[in-house]
C-alpha cells in the first residue's frame, strides 16, 4: 500500500510538499477611474468594487500601496463618448490624467493601462464601426495613439484588450518610434467572447449598443485557436500574454504554458468575482477558502500573473497566515 496520507498529517508537512502557492506579488488589481469630482460609486453587480474620481482615489491607492501586490490595471470611464472614441486617445483624457496623478504620487507603483475603445465609443464596441461591421485595420492607429498617450502620461505597461488583429504590432511600432522601446506590452491574447464580462460592462459603461463581440473575441469552444492567438502575439512583440477569463479556461492556460516559455497572465474577470461575492454574501460559501482555491488553481494551471478584483482581500489574507 502507498501511504499518501503520511505527508498530509500536519500543516508543516503539507506546506513542505506543496507544489503551488499564490503570492501577493502575483496579483494585479483592476481599478475604475471616472471623470468628475467627489465620486465614489459602488457597482451593484460587483460588491466591494467602486468607481473613483481622481480626487477620491487615494483611499484605494493607499491600500494597494500597503498590500504588497504588484500593481494596478486602469480603466477609464469618460463623460463624453462618440463614434470614434476620441477620449480614449486624448492626452488629457480621464485615464491619462489618472496615470499622471498616480505616478506622481506613487512613483514606485506599477501602473498598467488597459487599451481599448469600448468605454469611450457611443456604440460600445472595441473598434470603429461601419454599419454593423467592426473595422479592424482602421482601428489600429487609434489603439496605438491611446497606448502612446498613456505611456507618455507615465504608464509602465500597456495591455490591449480590443481583440483587433495586429494590435500588438501596431502598438509596439508606435512605442518604439517614440522612444519607448523599453515599455512592455501585455496582450489580451486569448480573449473569449464570454458572458462572464457582464458586471464589468456595468462598471465601465461599455456594453455594446448593438450586436455582440463575437466577430472579434474568440469562440469559447476553441483551444487550438487560443494557442495560435498567443503564438501570434508573442511573434508581434507581446512581453506577457493573457488568457481571459480564467476559471472556465484553465485548459487553455495549461496548453499555452506547456508550449511557450513566456509569462502568462490570467484575468479572473468580473463575472467570476461576482459569483463568488454573491454566494459569500449569502453565507453559502467560505469566501476566503474559495478565493484561495480559485487563485491557486490558476497558478497550478500555469499562470504566473493573476489580474483579480480579489487582489486586496487576498493580499490581506496572505499577510494573516505569515
Ligand atoms: C474591454 C474589456 C473588457 C474586460 C476587460 N477589458 C470587457 C469586454 O471585452 O467586454 C472584461 C473584464 C472583466 O469582465 O472583468 N475591452
Ligand atoms: Zn473593448
Q: Which residue has the cell 486569448?
A: 190
pLDDT score recorded for residue 92: 98
**Among the four given CATH numbers 1.10.1060.10, 3.40.50.300, 3.30.450.20, 3.20.20.70, the one describing domain 19-320:** 3.20.20.70
Cα distance between residue 312 and residue 319, in whole Å: 11
CA of 103 from ligand 1 middle (Å) equals: 24
Tell me the best of 30, 77, 161, 307 to mutate to test the pocket of ligand 1, counting ligand atoms within 8 Å of each CB and taking the most.
161
Count Cα atoms within 13 angstroms, Cβ side, for 249.
Answer: 33
Mean pLDDT of the region 267-275:
98
The answer for residues whose C-beta is within 8 angstroms of residue 1's C-beta and 6 or more apart is: none
CA of 321 from ligand 1 middle (Å) equals: 32
Question: Domain map of the chain by residue range?
Answer: 19-320
Q: Is the pTM higher than 0.85? A: yes
Mean pLDDT of the region 278-293:
98
Mean pLDDT of the region 70-79:
98
Contact assessment for residue 70 and residue 156, using Cβ atoms and an 8 Å cutoff: no
- Predicted confidence (pLDDT) per residue in 237-264, tens digit: 999 999 999 999 999 999 999 999 999 9
> Which ligand has the shortest distance to the CA of 49?
1
Percent of all residues in the chain with a pLDDT value above 70, rounded to a whole number: 100
pLDDT score recorded for residue 322: 61
Q: Which three cell numbers stand for residue 291?
A: 478565493
Count Cα atoms within 13 angstroms, Cβ side, for 155.
Answer: 28
Cα distance between residue 298 and residue 168, in whole Å: 24
Distances (CA, A) of 283 to 35, 268, 278, 279, 288: 35, 22, 9, 6, 12
Amino acid at each position: 500500500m502507498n501511504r499518501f496520507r503520511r505527508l498530509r498529517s500536519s500543516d508543516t508537512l503539507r506546506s513542505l510538499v506543496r507544489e503551488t502557492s499564490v503570492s501577493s506579488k502575483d496579483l494585479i488589481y483592476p481599478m475604475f477611474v471616472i471623470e468628475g469630482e467627489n465620486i465614489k460609486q459602488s457597482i451593484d453587480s460587483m460588491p466591494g468594487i467602486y468607481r473613483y474620481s481622481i480626487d477620491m482615489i487615494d483611499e484605494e491607492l493607499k491600500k494597494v500601496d500597503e498590500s504588497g501586490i504588484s500593481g494596478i490595471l486602469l480603466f477609464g470611464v469618460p463623460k463624453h463618448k462618440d463614434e470614434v472614441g476620441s477620449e480614449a486617445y486624448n492626452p488629457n483624457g480621464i485615464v491619462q490624467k489618472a496615470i499622471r496623478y498616480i505616478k506622481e504620487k506613487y512613483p514606485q507603483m506599477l501602473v498598467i493601462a488597459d487599451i481599448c475603445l469600448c468605454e469611450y465609443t457611443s456604440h460600445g464596441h472595441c473598434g470603429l464601426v461601419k454599419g454593423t461591421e467592426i473595422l479592424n485595420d482602421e482601428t489600429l492607429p487609434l489603439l496605438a495613439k491611446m497606448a502612446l498617450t498613456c505611456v507618455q502620461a507615465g504608464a509602465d505597461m500597456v495591455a490591449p484588450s480590443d481583440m483587433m488583429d495586429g494590435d500588438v504590432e501596431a502598438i509596439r511600432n508606435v512605442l518604439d518610434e517614440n522612444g519607448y522601446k523599453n515599455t512592455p506590452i501585455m496582450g489580451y491574447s486569448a480573449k473569449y467572447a464570454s458572458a462572464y464580462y457582464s458586471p464589468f460592462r456595468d462598471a465601465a459603461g461599455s456594453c455594446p449598443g448593438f450586436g455582440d463581440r463575437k466577430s472579434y473575441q474568440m469562440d469559447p469552444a476553441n483551444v487550438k485557436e487560443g494557442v495560435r492567438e498567443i503564438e501570434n502575439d508573442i511573434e508581434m512583440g507581446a512581453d506577457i500574454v493573457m488568457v481571459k477569463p480564467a476559471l472556465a479556461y484553465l485548459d487553455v492556460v495549461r496548453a499555452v504554458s506547456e508550449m511557450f516559455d513566456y509569462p502568462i497572465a490570467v484575468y479572473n474577470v468580473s463575472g467570476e468575482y461576482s459569483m463568488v461575492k454573491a454566494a459569500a454574501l449569502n453565507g453559502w460559501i467560505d469566501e476566503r477558502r474559495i478565493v484561495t482555491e480559485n487563485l491557486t488553481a490558476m497558478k497550478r494551471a500555469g499562470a504566473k500573473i493573476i489580474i483579480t478584483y480579489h487582489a486586496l482581500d487576498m493580499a490581506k489574507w496572505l499577510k494573516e497566515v505569515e
